[in-house]
Amino acid sequence: MINLAIMNANQKLFNDLLYALNLPLLPVGKSTVTAGMLLYVAILLWLLVRLTGTLQKKAIKPLLVKSRLNADAQNVAGMIVRYTTVAVGAIIILNTAGVDMTVVTVIAGTLGLGLSLGLQGVAKNFIGGLVILWERPIRLGDHIQIADVKGVVTRIALRATTIHNEDGIDVIVPNADFMSSRVINWDYSGDGIKISLPIATSIKSNPLQVQALLLEIINAEEGILKEPAPEVFLESFGENTLNFTVRAAISDHTATTNKLRSHFNLNVYKRFQEEHIQLSGECQNA
Protein backbone atom coordinates (compact mmCIF):
# COMPACT_ATOMS: atom_id res chain seq x y z
CA MET A 1 0.00 0.00 0.00
CA ILE A 2 2.79 2.39 0.91
CA ASN A 3 4.59 1.69 -2.37
CA LEU A 4 1.37 2.26 -4.30
CA ALA A 5 0.85 5.59 -2.51
CA ILE A 6 4.38 6.66 -3.34
CA MET A 7 3.93 5.69 -6.99
CA ASN A 8 0.68 7.64 -7.18
CA ALA A 9 2.35 10.70 -5.61
CA ASN A 10 5.24 10.50 -8.06
CA GLN A 11 2.83 10.10 -10.96
CA LYS A 12 0.86 13.15 -9.80
CA LEU A 13 4.07 15.17 -9.43
CA PHE A 14 5.17 14.13 -12.92
CA ASN A 15 1.78 15.07 -14.39
CA ASP A 16 1.84 18.46 -12.64
CA LEU A 17 5.36 19.12 -13.94
CA LEU A 18 4.36 18.08 -17.45
CA TYR A 19 1.32 20.33 -17.27
CA ALA A 20 3.45 23.28 -16.12
CA LEU A 21 5.98 22.74 -18.90
CA ASN A 22 3.22 22.68 -21.52
CA LEU A 23 1.53 25.85 -20.34
CA PRO A 24 1.40 28.39 -23.20
CA LEU A 25 3.42 31.50 -22.36
CA LEU A 26 3.72 33.52 -25.53
CA PRO A 27 2.30 33.15 -29.05
CA VAL A 28 5.02 33.40 -31.71
CA GLY A 29 3.52 33.43 -35.19
CA LYS A 30 1.81 30.11 -35.81
CA SER A 31 3.46 28.48 -32.78
CA THR A 32 3.14 28.99 -29.04
CA VAL A 33 6.11 29.19 -26.71
CA THR A 34 5.84 27.03 -23.60
CA ALA A 35 8.02 26.69 -20.50
CA GLY A 36 9.14 23.30 -21.73
CA MET A 37 10.15 24.78 -25.08
CA LEU A 38 12.19 27.49 -23.35
CA LEU A 39 13.89 24.90 -21.14
CA TYR A 40 14.62 22.71 -24.16
CA VAL A 41 16.14 25.60 -26.14
CA ALA A 42 18.15 26.93 -23.18
CA ILE A 43 19.70 23.55 -22.35
CA LEU A 44 20.57 22.73 -25.96
CA LEU A 45 22.03 26.20 -26.63
CA TRP A 46 24.18 25.92 -23.50
CA LEU A 47 25.39 22.49 -24.59
CA LEU A 48 26.03 23.81 -28.11
CA VAL A 49 28.23 26.67 -26.87
CA ARG A 50 30.17 24.36 -24.54
CA LEU A 51 30.65 21.67 -27.18
CA THR A 52 31.78 24.10 -29.88
CA GLY A 53 34.30 25.60 -27.45
CA THR A 54 35.66 22.15 -26.65
CA LEU A 55 35.65 21.24 -30.35
CA GLN A 56 37.65 24.36 -31.20
CA LYS A 57 40.31 23.58 -28.56
CA LYS A 58 40.52 19.79 -28.92
CA ALA A 59 39.92 19.19 -32.63
CA ILE A 60 39.98 22.31 -34.81
CA LYS A 61 43.02 23.97 -33.21
CA PRO A 62 45.29 20.88 -33.51
CA LEU A 63 44.29 20.51 -37.16
CA LEU A 64 45.03 24.17 -37.88
CA VAL A 65 48.41 23.92 -36.13
CA LYS A 66 49.40 21.22 -38.62
CA SER A 67 48.43 23.48 -41.52
CA ARG A 68 50.64 26.16 -43.08
CA LEU A 69 48.51 28.96 -41.64
CA ASN A 70 50.16 31.40 -39.26
CA ALA A 71 48.90 31.89 -35.70
CA ASP A 72 46.60 34.80 -36.59
CA ALA A 73 45.00 32.94 -39.50
CA GLN A 74 44.52 29.90 -37.26
CA ASN A 75 42.79 32.10 -34.70
CA VAL A 76 40.47 33.59 -37.34
CA ALA A 77 39.64 30.21 -38.87
CA GLY A 78 38.90 28.69 -35.48
CA MET A 79 36.54 31.51 -34.49
CA ILE A 80 34.76 31.46 -37.86
CA VAL A 81 34.16 27.71 -37.60
CA ARG A 82 32.90 28.02 -34.03
CA TYR A 83 30.55 30.97 -34.60
CA THR A 84 29.21 29.45 -37.80
CA THR A 85 28.53 26.18 -36.01
CA VAL A 86 26.76 28.00 -33.17
CA ALA A 87 24.61 30.01 -35.60
CA VAL A 88 23.59 26.95 -37.66
CA GLY A 89 23.04 24.88 -34.50
CA ALA A 90 20.84 27.58 -32.95
CA ILE A 91 18.63 27.66 -36.04
CA ILE A 92 18.30 23.86 -35.98
CA ILE A 93 17.47 23.90 -32.25
CA LEU A 94 14.76 26.55 -32.69
CA ASN A 95 13.34 24.68 -35.66
CA THR A 96 13.20 21.34 -33.80
CA ALA A 97 11.59 23.11 -30.85
CA GLY A 98 8.71 24.06 -33.10
CA VAL A 99 9.34 27.82 -33.16
CA ASP A 100 7.93 29.71 -36.17
CA MET A 101 11.13 30.69 -38.02
CA THR A 102 9.39 33.51 -39.93
CA VAL A 103 8.76 35.38 -36.70
CA VAL A 104 12.28 34.58 -35.48
CA THR A 105 13.66 36.19 -38.64
CA VAL A 106 11.62 39.36 -38.02
CA ILE A 107 12.66 39.48 -34.37
CA ALA A 108 16.32 38.96 -35.32
CA GLY A 109 16.10 41.83 -37.80
CA THR A 110 14.54 44.11 -35.18
CA LEU A 111 17.14 43.15 -32.60
CA GLY A 112 19.87 43.73 -35.16
CA LEU A 113 18.59 47.26 -35.76
CA GLY A 114 18.35 47.93 -32.03
CA LEU A 115 21.83 46.58 -31.38
CA SER A 116 23.28 48.66 -34.20
CA LEU A 117 21.87 51.79 -32.57
CA GLY A 118 22.37 50.97 -28.91
CA LEU A 119 25.61 48.99 -29.06
CA GLN A 120 27.65 50.98 -31.53
CA GLY A 121 30.73 50.61 -29.34
CA VAL A 122 30.46 46.82 -29.41
CA ALA A 123 29.94 46.91 -33.17
CA LYS A 124 33.03 49.10 -33.61
CA ASN A 125 35.11 46.72 -31.51
CA PHE A 126 33.83 43.74 -33.49
CA ILE A 127 34.62 45.41 -36.83
CA GLY A 128 38.00 46.50 -35.47
CA GLY A 129 38.74 42.90 -34.51
CA LEU A 130 37.90 41.69 -38.01
CA VAL A 131 40.15 44.36 -39.54
CA ILE A 132 43.04 43.41 -37.23
CA LEU A 133 42.66 39.72 -37.99
CA TRP A 134 42.31 40.31 -41.74
CA GLU A 135 44.84 43.09 -42.43
CA ARG A 136 47.18 42.04 -39.61
CA PRO A 137 48.64 45.44 -38.63
CA ILE A 138 49.47 43.70 -35.36
CA ARG A 139 50.09 39.99 -34.79
CA LEU A 140 50.49 37.61 -31.88
CA GLY A 141 53.90 38.16 -30.30
CA ASP A 142 54.33 41.69 -31.70
CA HIS A 143 55.84 44.30 -29.39
CA ILE A 144 53.55 47.33 -29.74
CA GLN A 145 52.57 50.60 -28.12
CA ILE A 146 49.14 52.22 -28.24
CA ALA A 147 48.62 55.40 -26.22
CA ASP A 148 50.40 54.72 -22.90
CA VAL A 149 50.13 50.93 -23.16
CA LYS A 150 53.32 49.17 -24.26
CA GLY A 151 53.97 45.44 -24.38
CA VAL A 152 53.56 42.16 -26.25
CA VAL A 153 50.34 41.07 -27.99
CA THR A 154 49.27 37.78 -26.39
CA ARG A 155 45.68 37.45 -27.63
CA ILE A 156 43.59 38.91 -30.43
CA ALA A 157 39.83 38.41 -30.09
CA LEU A 158 36.89 39.94 -31.93
CA ARG A 159 36.09 42.39 -29.13
CA ALA A 160 39.46 43.23 -27.60
CA THR A 161 43.19 42.59 -27.77
CA THR A 162 45.32 41.57 -24.79
CA ILE A 163 48.73 43.20 -24.30
CA HIS A 164 51.20 41.89 -21.73
CA ASN A 165 53.11 44.97 -20.57
CA GLU A 166 56.61 45.29 -19.15
CA ASP A 167 55.28 45.18 -15.58
CA GLY A 168 53.84 41.70 -16.17
CA ILE A 169 50.24 42.99 -16.31
CA ASP A 170 47.73 42.00 -18.98
CA VAL A 171 45.99 45.05 -20.43
CA ILE A 172 42.72 44.57 -22.34
CA VAL A 173 42.48 47.11 -25.17
CA PRO A 174 39.20 47.49 -27.14
CA ASN A 175 39.80 46.82 -30.83
CA ALA A 176 38.13 50.12 -31.80
CA ASP A 177 41.11 51.93 -30.23
CA PHE A 178 43.41 50.43 -32.87
CA MET A 179 41.27 52.03 -35.58
CA SER A 180 41.31 55.53 -34.06
CA SER A 181 44.72 55.73 -32.37
CA ARG A 182 48.30 55.70 -33.57
CA VAL A 183 49.92 52.31 -33.02
CA ILE A 184 53.68 51.70 -32.88
CA ASN A 185 54.65 48.17 -33.90
CA TRP A 186 58.33 47.41 -33.47
CA ASP A 187 57.93 43.99 -35.11
CA TYR A 188 55.94 45.01 -38.19
CA SER A 189 58.96 44.66 -40.51
CA GLY A 190 59.94 41.35 -38.93
CA ASP A 191 63.43 42.57 -37.96
CA GLY A 192 62.90 42.43 -34.20
CA ILE A 193 62.19 45.12 -31.62
CA LYS A 194 64.11 48.31 -32.34
CA ILE A 195 65.78 50.12 -29.44
CA SER A 196 67.79 53.34 -29.30
CA LEU A 197 70.32 53.99 -26.56
CA PRO A 198 71.68 57.56 -26.34
CA ILE A 199 75.14 58.05 -24.83
CA ALA A 200 76.90 61.39 -24.33
CA THR A 201 80.63 61.69 -23.69
CA SER A 202 83.03 64.54 -23.15
CA ILE A 203 83.86 66.64 -26.20
CA LYS A 204 87.50 65.66 -25.63
CA SER A 205 86.78 61.93 -26.20
CA ASN A 206 88.06 60.13 -29.28
CA PRO A 207 84.84 59.50 -31.27
CA LEU A 208 86.29 56.50 -33.15
CA GLN A 209 87.35 54.86 -29.87
CA VAL A 210 83.92 55.52 -28.33
CA GLN A 211 82.12 54.15 -31.38
CA ALA A 212 84.17 50.93 -31.39
CA LEU A 213 83.73 50.44 -27.64
CA LEU A 214 79.94 50.95 -27.80
CA LEU A 215 79.69 48.43 -30.63
CA GLU A 216 81.66 45.92 -28.58
CA ILE A 217 79.42 46.44 -25.53
CA ILE A 218 76.10 46.22 -27.39
CA ASN A 219 77.17 43.10 -29.30
CA ALA A 220 78.00 41.41 -26.00
CA GLU A 221 74.47 41.96 -24.65
CA GLU A 222 72.18 38.91 -24.55
CA GLY A 223 69.21 38.94 -26.93
CA ILE A 224 70.73 41.36 -29.43
CA LEU A 225 70.14 40.27 -33.04
CA LYS A 226 73.18 39.91 -35.28
CA GLU A 227 71.00 40.73 -38.30
CA PRO A 228 70.27 43.59 -38.62
CA ALA A 229 73.59 44.33 -36.95
CA PRO A 230 73.78 46.97 -34.18
CA GLU A 231 74.98 50.41 -35.25
CA VAL A 232 76.52 53.36 -33.45
CA PHE A 233 76.09 56.90 -34.77
CA LEU A 234 77.66 60.18 -33.75
CA GLU A 235 74.39 62.11 -33.90
CA SER A 236 75.43 65.61 -32.89
CA PHE A 237 77.82 67.87 -31.00
CA GLY A 238 76.70 69.43 -27.76
CA GLU A 239 78.27 72.44 -26.09
CA ASN A 240 80.69 70.14 -24.26
CA THR A 241 79.60 66.71 -25.45
CA LEU A 242 79.70 64.18 -28.24
CA ASN A 243 76.21 62.70 -28.58
CA PHE A 244 76.10 59.07 -29.74
CA THR A 245 73.11 56.82 -30.41
CA VAL A 246 73.33 53.02 -30.29
CA ARG A 247 70.65 51.31 -32.38
CA ALA A 248 69.94 47.59 -32.22
CA ALA A 249 67.20 44.98 -32.52
CA ILE A 250 66.28 42.37 -29.94
CA SER A 251 64.44 39.11 -30.54
CA ASP A 252 63.27 38.12 -27.07
CA HIS A 253 59.73 39.48 -26.70
CA THR A 254 59.58 38.43 -23.06
CA ALA A 255 62.57 40.55 -22.09
CA THR A 256 61.89 44.14 -21.09
CA THR A 257 63.75 46.90 -22.84
CA ASN A 258 64.19 48.65 -19.49
CA LYS A 259 66.22 45.70 -18.17
CA LEU A 260 68.41 45.70 -21.28
CA ARG A 261 68.93 49.48 -21.10
CA SER A 262 69.98 49.22 -17.46
CA HIS A 263 72.42 46.37 -18.10
CA PHE A 264 73.88 48.16 -21.12
CA ASN A 265 74.33 51.43 -19.22
CA LEU A 266 76.09 49.65 -16.35
CA ASN A 267 78.49 48.00 -18.78
CA VAL A 268 79.10 51.31 -20.55
CA TYR A 269 79.94 52.96 -17.24
CA LYS A 270 82.27 50.11 -16.25
CA ARG A 271 84.12 49.95 -19.59
CA PHE A 272 84.39 53.72 -19.95
CA GLN A 273 85.92 53.90 -16.48
CA GLU A 274 88.47 51.29 -17.53
CA GLU A 275 89.28 53.16 -20.75
CA HIS A 276 89.30 56.57 -19.00
CA ILE A 277 86.48 57.92 -21.20
CA GLN A 278 84.46 60.61 -19.51
CA LEU A 279 80.67 60.38 -19.63
CA SER A 280 78.82 63.67 -19.76
CA GLY A 281 76.34 64.71 -17.13
CA GLU A 282 74.05 65.65 -20.01
CA CYS A 283 73.61 61.99 -20.98
CA GLN A 284 69.95 61.03 -20.64
CA ASN A 285 68.37 57.83 -21.86
CA ALA A 286 65.10 58.33 -23.76
What's the mean pLDDT when you consider all of the chain? 77
Q: Helix 71-96 and helix 35-55: axis angle, to 10°? A: 160
Q: Which fold is adopted by the domain 193-274? A: Alpha-Beta Plaits (3.30.70)
- pLDDT, residue 20, reads 58
Q: Where are the domains of the chain?
A: 11-118, 136-185, 193-274
- pLDDT, residue 242, reads 92
- pLDDT, residue 254, reads 47
- pLDDT, residue 284, reads 44
Which tens digits make up the pLDDT trace of 134-158?
777 888 878 888 988 888 888 888 7
Level-2 CATH architecture, domain 136-185? Roll (2.30)
E runs forming strands in the chain: 24-28, 31-34, 143-146, 149-156, 160-165, 170-174, 183-185, 193-202, 231-237, 241-250
- Higher pLDDT: 248 or 98? It is 248
**10-14, 18-22, 194-198, 263-267: which has the highest mean pLDDT?**
263-267
